[in-house]
Structure 1
């Protein structure tokens, strides 16, 4: 088994490689044939053979010899590389190859020297000098482009013949020679001699055709190496290259030839021919793209069928394993009984085992077979490469001995599930391969013995890491484009939209699922001329940046900041364009708002009644301040140097100190001072200025205003005096009330009615005079207070920013509280006066000192007076709630009595209740 595992297997070349190698062999024979025909034509003086094709010019003798030598060397090289000849033959071939190549290089080198230094070495005239059919004139010189192509091919063949061939260099030189020959072929076909600038004697079509064949033969000699490995690959890239290259090399030149032919025959104008050529090229590439898409779809279907076939093969393999296992068990029993007589059976068993092992190792996917204990019993070469250990170190081992613990535990768990359930399980799992985690699509199935019992598990794993990474990359790129808030779009050279992201569709009002391939990108531009100029700039310079206006489906114009980039693939002309655009509607609105704000400021500065002034950063006026000079009556010179002289002497120091501090700290300047008018009078002004900063943070200028607050200051002073007066009166009233309460307490507590009566009469007499004064003036005081407060409100509305001294005084006085509380004080004074007057009346009614005789009195009135005097005892105390009095008077007539004494009785009853 170990010998079989280590045996090297020769893989058969893929069909593309076989085809390309076959083409290389045929090309070598064809090139040799072309050279031989031309040489025979010169030997026998046959014009038909000299030109290879009727009507074509004669091929040069040295060119024909180089073609013969090159084709012969390529043929020998292919035969030597095939390994089908003997060592001796290979040595002879090697000598012939080098001889042919060095002779070719010598001929073309001589031709190039003749061309470069205008010498006559006779390399193209002495080859057949003995022939009477050849003359100096008919032989001719080899063209420089033909010589250069042969030189490149000769060097390429030398590199290919080395012990360690330089395949990349060989293929690059071959491609260069092919391009030289292909260019000459096209120039001759189109009758546009590209190389005529290099000499009067140039190549012909047979030369170019032979060189192209020889270049292709050398290029395809080793298609599995270097650059050609991509074309010869069985993958999608190789298929696409093989489909595109022939058509790209043949069809455009062919169409170009027929279009030029039509122009020469005057079937149509040149501009129509160019348009037809563009349309045909677009049609060709469209068909090629469609054909390649179809081919790729076919490959995908084949790949899917191959996967299904692999699954089927796996199932068949399982059945085959079961069948072979049963056969092996049967043969083993038989071998145990007939070990000495069953050599033939043993050989058959060994053959079957080799067949099974060959089948397992031929599978590209990794195959693992484990027993019920989880030990590896069989593994193919692909599986051993995944684990990274030799076959003999894997067999008999557990997963825990081959993988990291976290991966081994997952593998063991899935194996246990498969063997427990007995069902096939398909999953994706990650395994460490050479230090990197790779993703595998794994199919696990339990296999059974002849009795149907599960004997182990078979796993087949296929590496899908590249596919997963490609899917993730595509999803990430699409997510980035769809998530960006800017417009992202792509269109082709015809102006047709190819792609617009989600934000772009939203900006233009397109549905996210709407097909856009039929829409012209110019539909969404407000100015097609601007768009055309931008595209032209992008074509010339690769990129265009600027601002443009989009038009949505609904007709809304959207200003954008846009970048357009042109893209070329394999050519100079752009094939499509991409753009990124950002909506700048908000920015333009902000600019318009700023412009409107500036206009409003200018209008406000003209219309306002305030004095507006400006200075430079240091506080020096830079221009005449007309408002200031008109008010103060000063000249321009006085304003620049002596503006402080217009400020009241008592306010100058404070004004200068505040101004200098604001200039030094670049902060707000606020001050209140008195300013002299042109007539010599002083008025109070509130001054406020702000610094205007430059971009670097320095002060560019100061802008300030003078606001006349003289009337407001006088009103506030009047209010302050009124408040002082009212507070004095309130204090007197409060003192009188306090004295009254003390007197009332003394009256209630006295037990002598006579003393009480005299006291009441005296108090009533003493209180009546101030109470009548207060009661008579309280109405006028309330009216004056309301008028002053209304005036204060008007000053606040018209002069919201008072001078600092006024503001400080108002804050100290708590002006807001005073405005709110002063009417309440007056109201409370009126209520107090009413209460005192009622109390005096009640005391007089209670005492009745002026009524010594009996008379008819209202008992209800006496009770009411007594309750009023005892009102303080009815209020709530700390030990009891408020006493509630319920009055339910009857309809009693007046009673003849001593009213004062009866009221005393009522007081004693109520006080003791």
Structure 2
């Protein structure tokens, strides 16, 4: 049994909503840019005056990437949606690849000029797709293609590609925020547009959230101590330096302080914030560690109790692997089958007689379907060849690769007691059957015959099958049956033995017979009369002789 269970990823509907919002946000930015080109609204092409507007082909690529990501959201996309996502992702990667090829080889491929060609030509500065935008599209398209794959191995490249896209877009946005052109522009090429960088950031983050059960997201979203620390520290590690860096540069530009003072203040503030975060995180991790130690101590105590229970003589406990080998057994089981611990592992078939192998297969099938088998009786063969009847209950161990635990109860004494009871019943039946006097038993509620012996059949002239389940009214005249019934009710009510010295009954073959009858109520577990026992002696010949 594992002390530390495997870490589970936190899943929440908010993750799916975040992916959908990322698709809407990126597609919205791209659509606004296209509308801006169509109707010549500069603020829609670029949110800030003087910045590079989003290229129309870039906008189209971002819409295709948003459509691909939208189709891939959810744990199991439908085959048709997956095919659509793959086509869109392939187009995005192809557009980025062609742009990179054109930038690296200086071969003019006017791919980024096919939309709104005349409006692009009328601009004072040429508007092309930036090389870093093309590279980000290649990474994003490749990641979406990998995410659409059905195998885990083929999906592995998606994580590094998305992280690269995320990093490129973050660097570009940071450059715009801090006013550092080299962060969003490569050499003399046109820079990546700010709205393009934001759209790429949204798509990369949304794509990462589509598979929260693997890679970076699995670690960040896990409830483990590491996941908690990352969720607390990561936002601060990104936001705090950026904000303080912007404040530092902005204050320096406005002449509020010199570079040395700004740098020192920046370092002090970052150090103070990090110390505070580390202190708070440390306290939280300490609380988590205390709780973990408490749980482990409780688990250890529970394991010790279970171990003492399993090692006791109360019940046999065995563990078997999927191949049918008994790998562990407590002393009670080993003593029952006559083996030593050194004999382990043991084949289940070695201990099971051939006629019981089919019942074993039924139990294994039930465990596979429901996780547990219906308790059943079988026999084990001891090492000395003696058979031992047992009652078995078995189930699958959780997180144990198909291992099975079985609780076995030795029912030899129970079987012996049942055999003894059966022998005693047959002995008493033999006595009752061979008594020379008539013996009968009636139920107390309806006074119907529930038991008779051979002497009763011979005396009354009726077969056993004719008498059982019937009452006196089925065999005797009504006045005689009324007398018998009234007498029986009186005896049941009194609860004591009744000795009827002489009574006449009309038999089927031998005519009227004179009987000496004794009747006594038989009480149930609650002390109430449940049956009426009667013994009758035929004294006809005796009275005639007198």
1:543 counterpart residue number? none
Name the SS for the 2:238 alignment partner.
helix
The CA distance in 2 between the partners of 1:136 and 1:400, in whole Å, is 94
Bigger radius of gyration: 1
Superposed, which structure 2 residues align to 1:162-561 within 5 Å? 162-165=149-152, 166-194=154-182, 195-303=184-292, 370=310, 373-376=313-316, 389=321, 397-399=329-331, 405=341
CA shift digits 1:281-317 (9 cap, x unpaired): 21222122112112212323544675699799x7xxx
Match of 1:40 in 2: 35
- Is 1:122 the counterpart of 2:122? The answer is no
Contact in 1 for aligned 2:56/2:112 (Cα 8 Å): yes
2:506 alignment counterpart: none
Which of 15, 24, 32 matches 1:29? 24
Cα offset for 1:46?
2.1
Task: Indicate the residue corresponding to 1:144 in structure 2.
Answer: 131
Structure 1 length as normaliser, TM-score? 0.33
Count of aligned residue pairs for this structure pair:
333
In the alignment, what sits opposite 2:145? 158
Deviations 1:326-369 (A, max 9, x none): xxxxxxxxxxxxxxxxxxxxxxxxxxxxxxxxxxxxx9x99996
CA-CA distance at 1:139 after TM superposition: 7.2
Q: Which residue of 1 aligns with 2:57?
A: 62
Cα distance in 2 between the residues matched to 1:35 and 1:239: 35
Instruction: Provide the residue aligned with 2:68 in structure 1.
Output: 73
Q: Is the 8 A contact 1:124 1:139 kept in 2?
A: no
Q: 1:844 — aligned with what?
A: none
Distance, in Å, in 2 between the alignment partners of 1:21 and 1:302 is 32
SS in structure 1 at match of 2:73: helix
Residue 148 of structure 1: CA displacement?
0.8
Give, in angstroms, the shift of residue 388 of structure 1: 6.5
**CA separation of 1:31 and 1:388: change in aligned 2, threshold 3 A:** farther
Provide the secondary structure at the position in 1 that maps to 2:116. coil
Distance 1:302 1:25 in 2: 37
Q: Show CA shifts across 1:803-860 (max 9, x none).
A: xxxxxxxxxxxxxxxxxxxxxxxxxxxxxxxxxxxxxxxxxxxxxxxxxxxxxxxxxx
Tell me, yes or no, if the aligned pair for 1:38 and 1:52 is still in contact at 8 Å: no
Taking the aligned partners of 1:271 and 1:186, their CA distance within structure 2 comes to: 22
TM superposition shift of 1:209: 1.6
- Cα deviation for residue 76 of structure 1 reads 0.8
Change (3 A) 1:257 1:367: farther
Structure 2: stretches of 5+ with no match in the other structure: 1-5, 345-396, 400-546
Cα distance between partner residues in 2 of 1:252 and 1:107: 35
Deviation for aligned residue 1:35: 1.8
Partner SS, residue 82 of structure 1: coil
1:507-530 CA distance string (max 9 Å, x none): xxxxxxxxxxxxxxxxxxxxxxxx
Distance 2:79 2:281 in 1: 45
Change (3 A) 1:51 1:229: same
Match of 2:407 in 1: none
Is the alpha carbon distance of 1:19 and 1:238 closer, same or farther for their aligned partners in structure 2, counting shifts above 3 Å? farther
Q: Does the CA contact (< 8 Å) of 1:74 and 1:218 recur in 2?
A: yes
What residue in structure 1 maps to residue 459 of structure 2? none
Does the aligned pair in 2 maintain the 1:128–1:134 contact within 8 Å? yes
Which residue among 68, 76, 81 is the counterpart of 1:93? 81
| Whole-angstrom CA distance in 1 between matches of 2:139 and 2:307 | 49
* Cα distance in structure 2, aligned partners of 1:391 and 1:234: 36
Query: Which residues in structure 2 correspond to 1:597-608 (within 5 Å)?
Result: none
Helix, strand or coil for the counterpart of 1:124?
helix
**Contact 2:52–2:192 under 8 Å retained in 1:** no
Give me the whole-angstrom Cα distance separating, in 2, the residues matched to 1:53 and 1:306.
56
Shift of 1:57: 4.3
C-alpha RMSD over aligned residues: 4.0
Query: Aligned partners of 1:216, 1:366: CA distance in 2, in Å?
Result: 47
The 1:282/1:388 distance shift into structure 2, 3 A limit, reads farther
SS state at 1:58 partner: coil
CA separation of 1:285 and 1:186: change in aligned 2, threshold 3 A? same
C-alpha distance in structure 1 between counterparts of 2:213 and 2:34, whole Å: 35
Displacement of 1:278 in angstroms is: 1.4
Give the secondary-structure state (helix, strand or coil) at the position aligned to 2:112.
coil
Provide the C-alpha distance between the structure 1 equivalents of 2:286 and 2:251, rounded to a whole number of angstroms.
Answer: 38
